[in-house]
Chains A and B, each alone.
Chain A
Amino acid sequence: MTATGDTGTAEPVCGEVRTCLLQTSLSLTASAAEELLRLREDERVRLSERPNLHAVSPDVLTGVDCRLPTGSGARVRAIGTVAARAVLTEGRVLQATAYFRAAGAGPEQRQPWGHYLVRPGVLEPFGGLPVRAVADGILAGTRQAGELDLGAVSERLLTAVLRHQLLDQRPPFKSRRTRLRWVALRTRDGQAPSIRRFTLAADGLRTVELRVPEEIAPAAVAGLCEDLALHDWLLTTLVRMVERSRPGSADGYAVVTALRPAVDHLLHLWMPRARVAGALSPLWEVLEREPGFTRQWQTLVQRIRDQLALQAIPLPREALTAR
């Protein structure tokens, strides 16, 4: 059987991850996280407690038979399954990733479904795969009707988890979801992995293009992108929270109420590379240099701490009025 066999051509891995705050007043414990992500009764949830609490659901598959988006307008029909998994970090931030590996070439005729089911998370094109065009199509963000809808697959999983009875739907603060769409092209001959593009677009959409050595499993690439998406979401959310607290406005109490959830629920979540495969972790350093994810985070954290410290000092009334 050739379930794991490669045809030898470049086989990109593509995906989309959606990130949101888990809609519950308190963070979930490890056992609750396990229950939440048990998408199938007979499969285990991968649970890790060091260096932070991290739970990964089993992959669920969605069958597709449709065109892949292409930048060139070329029509490429592909058949197979898109894998999706849900990930919960520190019982607080929920992510759903839909991803697939595109086979470099496939038979010119649709095979019996069992053929595709033993290749979970693989899409086989009819004929050859125009790799660059498909990568461009996935990253473009515009999707023609009838083309593969990765976002819908991850969204469906995310909403299914968010409907779970365990969640009280009383989150400590309001926040938006973000979407990160990614494509990893394959490198060979020991070439190091690299980030080609990280783009922040409107509407909470981010796109990432990577080069990753062939031997790295699709799930590991998905893991890296989940880590990027998590930290991008943290930054986005914290920026918005600081903005909304209106630091400097007269109402000190309001500032404290607005910023407190950050201290309670967000600040401890910053931990880049905690879950990234060793071979891929150098990619983070690129983003640390430019634009400097951690630098921005630390500045925000400092700003929040300063604000809270200011509010904690009971200033004598005269000092304020004398100005």
Chain B
Amino acid sequence: MTDAVFRETAAEPRTQSVPLAHVSLELGHLYMEDFEAGAGRLREHFALVRPWVDAVRASAAGNGKRPRISTCFLIDDYFTRFSSPAELVPLLLAEADRCGLTVDYLARESGCAVADGVQIAAAVEARLVELPPPGSDGSRPPVSETGWLANGERTPGSAGAEAMAGLTTWSPPNETAARRHSVFADVELWDDRDGRRTWSCPFLAAVWQLARLGLLRYRGEPVLRPRPWPDGGFPHDWDALPPLIQLSPSAAPFAAYRTCSVLPSRFLPVEHAVRVVLSQIQTDPDALRQVAERSAREGVPVPDAIADRASYVFYAGP
């Protein structure tokens, strides 16, 4: 089987690896209304972010070697559309530059739903393995509410299709493996309206994290790969902009062993939801192994759990 003369490639598929930095540092994640508020808001944002970026760089340099850090910025073009790349992107880059920050990679949020003709969000959803509450013996599939994902057991009765027994008393929801008291979270993954599926912000943000952690694959091929964009001209239509572009040619790789996102504290609930999602996704085992082996070789082993590879700085701000 292993040292065979005869081989069939379709029988032994390979998973491609991606280049990896140490840290993928997110300089912000703004909604269209933030852009609408004008250049002043952007300047304010970057000025608040700057000290934390320095702190992250300093902390990554802790082990002596010069760390590979790439920066990225995500623009929401999925839920609302505003202006055009030609107007907004140069403004954004200029304001970042004014605060001494460089945006290495720029992504569009809709690229986390569909990129390069691949339904990424749908594929990631199919990889959810819901956490089993104690007593799950495999005989029944998890009690899922379609389009929702929880970190424990819901209040009974809400999901039951079998209306057999009439009498049900209320019992509380329950976070699985809680530390004594529950912090139960139930995350909406998508909604379907007018025949169109809209992925939720936390779910797309979870896909974004997976991309930054180098763990997204589609039939073995990396997806949401950065496209070089050295010349600086930007199109007048968001759809004409590739989902992920590399602005600085000499930047460290987009994907990294760990991620850090510097965000205003209003993003806290969203990022908690991202953790709920990330902790229940079974990522491509080959991709996982590639990252684990390489980080271990470099002496910076990654934590087992995917969710623990993401870190945050929440600053008080708009």
Contact = CB atoms under 8 A, between A and B. Distances in A.
Asked if A and B touch directly (CB within 8 angstroms), the answer is yes
Interface of A: 1-4, 40-44, 46-50, 54, 61-67, 79, 81-82, 98, 110-115, 117-118, 120, 146-150, 152-153, 156, 220, 276-278
Nearest to B292: A1
B138 interface: yes
B120 to A, nearest CB: 8
A43 B11 CA distance: 13
A61 B129 contact: yes
Contacts of A120: 282, 285
B278 interface: yes
Interface centre among A65, A67, A117 (most CB of B within 10 A): A117
Interface residues of B, number: 56
B304 interface: yes
Interface stretch (B105-113, B189-197, B217-225): B217-225
Contacts of B11: 46-48, 54
Interface of B: 1-2, 6, 8, 10-13, 118-119, 122-124, 126-127, 129-142, 176-177, 217-220, 278-285, 288-289, 292, 295-296, 301-308
Contacts of A79: 132
Contact of B284 (A43, A82, A150, A156): A43
Given A3-B304, A278-B1, A64 B8 contact: no
Nearest to A42: B123
B292 A65 contact: no
Contacts, number: 141
Contact of B8 (A50, A112, A278): A50
Contact of B133 (A65, A82, A153, A277): A65
A152 B138 contact: yes
A3 B126 contact: no
A156 B176 CA distance: 24
Give the 3 A-B residue pairs with the shortest CB-CB distance, closest first. A114-B305, A42-B123, A63-B132
Contacts of B133: 65
Q: Is the interface of B mostly helix, strand, loop or mixed?
A: loop
Contacts of A64: 132, 136-138
B135 A66 contact: yes
Nearest to A113: B131
A115 B305 contact: yes
Contacts of A115: 304-305
B132 A42 contact: no
A40 B279 contact: no
B129 A63 contact: yes
B289 A3 contact: yes
A42 B218 contact: yes
Contacts of A54: 11
A114 B177 CA distance: 12
For B1, B130, B279, the residue with the greatest tally of chain A CB atoms inside 10 Å of its CB is B1
B280 A149 contact: no
B219 A43 contact: yes
Contacts of B119: 41
Contacts of A3: 288-289, 292, 304
